[in-house]
C-alpha cells in the first residue's frame, strides 16, 4: 500500500515539474522568437525608409558590384555569401518582374522570382519564408519614387542558431534537473510517507492492543457468569466471590474504555477543556493526600517540596488525572521502603513540576517508548493496567502547552519533569 502511495507521490511530483519545465521552455522560446521577429521587422522598416529616401546606395560604386551579376545565371560564390551579411532587397515592377536587386542574394533573381510573387500575393506585409541557405524574414512596402514594390530580406540563421542553442541548453539542463528531481522526489516521498506509515502502524497496533485489553476482562466476566449460571440454586451471598470478580473486571474495562475515549478525543482535538486559574500547589497536595493510604499500604513515603501560591491556568480535572497517573505509576514501581518526592517551583516564566521515585527505574531501551499507547516496559508488574497512563499524561501536558521529559536508570528510580508556561491572571480575558 505504501509502495503504491510512494510511487504516486513521485509520479505526481515529476509530472508537475515536467509540465512547469515545458511551460517555461515553451514560453522562453515564444518570447525570444517574438523579440527576434520584432527586431528584424524594426531593422527592415528602417532600411526601407532609407532606400525610399535615397540614403542607401547613392554612390554608383556601391551599386555596380551588385549590378554586375544582376542578369547572370550563376549564383554568387559560397565564400562571398559567408563573408557578406545575410541582408538583401529587390525592387519588383507591377507586373511581378524584378528590375533591381542589391545585397547578398542566396539565389539568382530568376529562382527568386517565384518566391517574390508568393510574397506579393500574401496578405501580410511581413513574415518568414524559407530560402535554400536559411530562413529569412521579409518585409514588403510600396516604392515611393518608383512604381512597384520594395521587398527586403533579412537572414535569420544567426538568430535561429542562437535561439536553438539556448533552447537545447535549457532542455539538457531540464533533463538533468528531472534526474535530480527523481532522486529528490524519492527522498522526499520516503520522508513524507514515513509519518503516515508510522501513524498507520500505531493505529493498527492501537486497535490490536485495545482488542486484546478488552478481551481479557470480557473473558473473565464470561467465565464467572458461566459459573454463576451453572448453580442457579445458589444465593447471591454464596456467589459473592464470582460477583466481585465480575465487578472488578467491569470497573477495569470501564476505566480502559474511558482512557481510550480520552485519547480518541485528544487525537481528534475534540476535548473540551474547562480552563481556569487555580493554585497548582494546593491541587498537588490534595492528590498526594488521596494517595497517602495507598502509599502507606505499599510502605512508600511521599515527600512534598511545594512552593506556595503557584498559580496555573488549566483544566483542574485533567491536571488531577495527570497527577494521579504519575503517582499511581510511582507507587506501583517503587518497592517497600522507597520514597516518592514531588516538587513544584516557579522558575522565571515557567512552572516546574517533578515527580521522582526511588523505584526500579526504566531501562534506556524503553525510555523513548514509555509514552506510546499500551507500551509496558515490565508487563509482569502492570497489575491489570493497560499501559495508557503515561500516554494520557503526555496528552494532558501538551494540551496545556507544556513539555514532559523523563530521566531514569534501572535500579535507581525515575524522575518525570513537567514544565508549564506561566500565565498571569491579569492577562486572562
Q: Which residues contact 326 (CB under 8 A, 6 or more apart)?
A: 355, 393, 416
Assigned C-alpha cell, 78: 559560397
User: So what CATH class is 275-427?
Assistant: alpha beta
Q: Whole-prediction pTM value?
A: 0.53
Instruction: Please state, in angstroms and rounded to a whole number, the distance separating the CA atoms of residues 214 and 394.
Output: 23
Q: Where are the domains of the chain?
A: 2-163, 275-427
pLDDT tens per residue, range 128-148: 998 887 889 999 999 988 899
Say which CATH topology domain 2-163 has: Beta-Lactamase (3.30.450)
DSSP per-residue letters across 201-238: HHHHHHHHHHHHHHHHHHHHHHHHHHHHHT-TTS-TGG
Neighbour tally for 127: CB within 10 Å: 15
Q: Would you place residue 72 in the very low, low, confident or very high pLDDT band (cuts 50, 70, 90)?
A: very low
- pLDDT-derived band at 362 (thresholds 50, 70, 90) equals confident
Using an 8 Å Cβ cutoff, are 151 and 88 in contact? no
Burial of residue 137 (CB within 10 Å: 0-12, 13-18, 19+) is buried
Q: Half-sphere exposure of residue 361, counting CA atoms within 13 Å on the CB side?
A: 11
Q: Each residue of 174-221: pLDDT tens digit?
A: 888 888 888 887 877 777 777 777 777 767 766 776 676 677 778 888
Least confident of 10-14, 28-32, 95-99, 340-344: 10-14
Q: What is the pLDDT of residues 45-60, one digit of tens each?
A: 999 988 888 776 544 3
pLDDT class of 64 with cuts at 50, 70, 90: very low
Amino acid at each position: 500500500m505504501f509502495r503504491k502511495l510512494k510511487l504516486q507521490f513521485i509520479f505526481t511530483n515529476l509530472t508537475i515539474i515536467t509540465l512547469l519545465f515545458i511551460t517555461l521552455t515553451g514560453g522562453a522560446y515564444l518570447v525570444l522568437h517574438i523579440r527576434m521577429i520584432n527586431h528584424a521587422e524594426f531593422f527592415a522598416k528602417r532600411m526601407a525608409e532609407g532606400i525610399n529616401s535615397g540614403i542607401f546606395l547613392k554612390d554608383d560604386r556601391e551599386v555596380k558590384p551588385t549590378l554586375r551579376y544582376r542578369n547572370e545565371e550563376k549564383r554568387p560564390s559560397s565564400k562571398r555569401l559567408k563573408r557578406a551579411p545575410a541582408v538583401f532587397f529587390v525592387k519588383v515592377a507591377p507586373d511581378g518582374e524584378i528590375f533591381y536587386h542589391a545585397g547578398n542574394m542566396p539565389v539568382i533573381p530568376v529562382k527568386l522570382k517565384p518566391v517574390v510573387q508568393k510574397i506579393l500575393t500574401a496578405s501580410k506585409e511581413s513574415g518568414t519564408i524559407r530560402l535554400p541557405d536559411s530562413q529569412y524574414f521579409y518585409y514588403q512596402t510600396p516604392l515611393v519614387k518608383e512604381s512597384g514594390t520594395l521587398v527586403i530580406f533579412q537572414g535569420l540563421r544567426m538568430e535561429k542558431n542562437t535561439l536553438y542553442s539556448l533552447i537545447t541548453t535549457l532542455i539538457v539542463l531540464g533533463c538533468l534537473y528531472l534526474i535530480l528531481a527523481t532522486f529528490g522526489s524519492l527522498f522526499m516521498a520516503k520522508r513524507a510517507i514515513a509519518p503516515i506509515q508510522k501513524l498507520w502502524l500505531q493505529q493498527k497496533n492501537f486497535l490490536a492492543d485495545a482488542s486484546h485489553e478488552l478481551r481479557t476482562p470480557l473473558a473473565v466476566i464470561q467465565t464467572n457468569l458461566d459459573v454463576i449460571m451453572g448453580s442457579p440454586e445458589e444465593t447471591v451471598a454464596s456467589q459473592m466471590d464470582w460477583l466481585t470478580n465480575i465487578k472488578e473486571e467491569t470497573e477495569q474495562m470501564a476505566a480502559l474504555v474511558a482512557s481510550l475515549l480520552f485519547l480518541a478525543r485528544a487525537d481528534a482535538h475534540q476535548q473540551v477543556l474547562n480552563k481556569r486559574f487555580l493554585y497548582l500547589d494546593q491541587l498537588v497536595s490534595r492528590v498526594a493526600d488521596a494517595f497517602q493510604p495507598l502509599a502507606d499500604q505499599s510502605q512508600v513515603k511521599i515527600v512534598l517540596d511545594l512552593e506556595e501560591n503557584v498559580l496555573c491556568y488549566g483544566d483542574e480535572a485533567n491536571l488531577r488525572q495527570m497527577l494521579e497517573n504519575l503517582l499511581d505509576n510511582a507507587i506501583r514501581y517503587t518497592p517497600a521502603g522507597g520514597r516518592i518526592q514531588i516538587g513544584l517551583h516557579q522558575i522565571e516564566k515557567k512552572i516546574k513540576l517533578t515527580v521522582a521515585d526511588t523505584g526500579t527505574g526504566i531501562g534506556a531501551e524503553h525510555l523513548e517508548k514509555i509514552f506510546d499507547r499500551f507500551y509496558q516496559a515490565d508487563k509482569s508488574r502492570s497489575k491489570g493496567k493497560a499501559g495508557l497512563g503515561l500516554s494520557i499524561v503526555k496528552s494532558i501536558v501538551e494540551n496545556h502547552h507544556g513539555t514532559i521529559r523523563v530521566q531514569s536508570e534501572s535500579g535507581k528510580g525515575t524522575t518525570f519533569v513537567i514544565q508549564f508556561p506561566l500565565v498571569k491572571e491579569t492577562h486572562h480575558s
